[in-house]
Amino acid sequence: MHGMIKNNAQPYPLGATLTENGCCFSIYSPAQNEIQLALFDNDSDYKVIELDHSYAGVQYTFVNGIKAGQKYGYIIKNEKGRSQLISDPYAKAIDGELTYQEPYNEKTSFTLPKCIVTEDDFDWQDVSKPNIPREETVIFETHVKGLTFLHPKMNSRIKGKYLGLVSDEMLSFYADNHIQTLQLLPIAACMAEPHLIKAGKVNYWGYNPYLFMAPDPRYAVNDAVSELKTTIRELHRHGIEVILDVVYNHSAEGGDDGPIFNLKGLDKQYYLLSGKNYINFTGCGNTLDLSYQPTLNLVMDTLRHWVTEYQVDGFRFDLAATLGRQREQFSQTSGFFMAVAQDPILKDIKLIAEPWDIGPNGYQVGHFPFGWNETNDKLRDIARSFWRGDDGFLRDFATRLMGSRDIYSASNWPFKLTVNYITYHDGFTLQDLVSYKHKHNDDNGEQNRDGHGDNRSDNNGEEGPTKSLAIIKRRELQKRNFMATLLFSFGIPHILSADVLSHTQGGNNNAYCQDSKTSWLNWSLTPQAASFKKWLSKMLKARHNIMVPFIDAFSGKSRNSNRVFWRKVDGSDMSGSDWDKRTCVALNLGINKSGRQILYLVNPTPAVARFKLPALPKKGEWDIVCDTNGEEVLLNKASKEYLLPKMSMAILYYNAKNK
């Protein structure tokens, strides 16, 4: 059993810790002298237990005879002096989906789901983690429910659930499409914001954490804890990593007028305050203050919990600039970054930052410490403008293709590789990016005021669905342009799982509250969607076989011993002024002095381009990896010149050893 705690009261660890004879309950609650433990027999019958010990702001007690499955909560006195039920911030499970009836008050608080005492034992069956190197990683961003809820062949019991992710149907889908890393949208227990509850909607994405350690029951058949562990174990068994999207910049308690669920009632210092008011650097009403030791402890304890108890392979941190703030100012040497860097459990896992928030100096792309990778919106914006045909983006496009070395020095690759993306959960899907000029978020109930205004999208001739074969053809070309750019840029590609199926959200670029067909992936594929899926699968394989060795060679110590040539269509070198035009460019990369070569032919002009190809030794020929005008990958060969239609790109490859 648990050797770390004897059969008596201990202040640490916080939370509910089982022993052979009972359970130690411990909660940090300096603002509550009279806090009591409530043990529930059912939803309304409970007995009250006094917390008879205290130490450094922690109140704790030991209760004999408690077993796994016991429901509990804590009773505090609110500002009106009335008894209110709150949850344990260290609770590892809750017994139901989170919602409440308006208005939220002390009476409503007793109707919320209860915390559950859990047993940590789980049989991992000696399955080891995949440990995929960064340079081989391709991230597929996935919503647990949305991915499988409409799958036509899956057992209906597990559709939209954790276990759906490891159904036979999904395991073959991952294998067929070379998917080895899933990044799950937040799965910590989430409460919908008050305005959504009033409107009868939910926070579908999950970015409003109620508890940080408890997996959300809405994705469970029966028991979220064991089912999520089983899911991760089976994904690992098939060589698939799991990265959790985590939210530590704010909590579901909102601003000054928001509800008290736990932290607010226990200690206001958990949050950044200006006088008595909550500072809002997140746009969500409050901002967790990671320069405050108990807040930092909560975050660190939670991260270790996911890694040790669930074996997760990494984290993507929402609005991560907030986590690096020492009060107001962002710092690379903030307490949080230092704590993570020295932590033996966390230092080997993947850490991905969304490197901004809406506070002062909130845009921190390139400023996270060593060991962190960052999502880089520059490739997204520049690739979108470039392929839309906007002028003035050629130089920037070249910089992004080469891994944004203006921000992330190749001397630190692969550890500091940029995370590149064209689409993310917040924004258009790939299909909508090429089908809509404007966002269409009316279903969200905010008069289309929500969501990003600057999408750099294009409908290619008609807004939304079309029957025009010419427009459909152009859209498919653009999708291939975007994905070829993404997969053959230096960096870690991030792909929306929705884009594998060419899913449309009907032009909604902020579907955070759409627990509907807007967000649930449609598995009935059009002929174009089926072709694109097949093409993308082959491109992912080609990236692994062809691009990864180049990332290796261009990283670290060997980065300067390779060949890089930028040329015009006639084969002559690009001059300084050429970069300011909307013109064709060929990028020729070679590993060391005579190793394999890759050639990018890029035509952003409205005319056909005739590229003169670099000469190869011994009458060698180029393998054509892809030409975005067609649906084939590794289609045939080329030797002296290459004809490339307007607004498209081709990738060619030469490996002397294969000749």
Count of beta carbons in the 10 Å neighbourhood of residue 327:
12
Q: What sections of 56-215 are H helices per DSSP?
A: 106-109, 144-148, 168-176, 194-198
Task: Tell me the DSSP string of 503-568.
Answer: ---TT-S--TT--STTTS------HHHHHHHHHHHHHHHHIIIIIHHHHHHTSGGGGGSSEEEEE-
Burial code (b: 16+ CB inside 10 Å, e: under 16) for 453-469 equals eebbbbbbeeeeebeee
Describe the crossing of helices 377-388 and 394-401 by its angle, rounded to 10 degrees.
140
Closest among 562, 558, 637, 552 to 597, alpha carbons compared: 562
Closest among 368, 486, 502, 485 to 429, alpha carbons compared: 502
Count of beta carbons in the 10 Å neighbourhood of residue 157:
9
Distance CA 121, CA 138 (A): 32
| Inter-residue contact 531 to 477 (CB < 8 Å) | no
**The one catalytic residue among 141, 234, 313, 318:** 318
**The one catalytic residue among 141, 245, 354, 515:** 354
Distance CA 649, CA 584 (A): 10
Closest among 221, 250, 217 to 116, alpha carbons compared: 217
Tokens describing residue 144: 């647990």
Tokens describing residue 599: 């050639």
Contacts of 37 (CB under 8 A, 6+ apart): 25, 48, 49, 50, 51, 61, 63, 72, 74, 75
Mark whether 318 is an active-site residue.
Answer: yes
| Inter-residue contact 252 to 261 (CB < 8 Å) | yes
What is the residue whose two structure tokens read 């993507």?
316
Tokens describing residue 610: 């005739």
Is there a cis peptide before residue 369, judged by omega within 30 degrees of 0? no
Distance CA 262, CA 298 (A): 13
Distance CA 329, CA 361 (A): 8
CA torsion through residues 127, 131, 137, 140, sign: positive
Helix (H) or strand (E) holding 236: helix 224-237
Count of beta carbons in the 10 Å neighbourhood of residue 56:
9
Distance CA 405, CA 6 (A): 54
Beta strand 325-326 with 329-330: parallel, antiparallel or unpaired? antiparallel
What is the residue whose two structure tokens read 């799950």?
184
CA torsion through residues 567, 569, 574, 576, sign: negative
Mark whether 450 is an active-site residue.
Answer: no
Q: What sections of 389-461 are H helices per DSSP?
A: 394-401, 430-433
Query: Which of the residues are catalytic?
Result: 318, 354
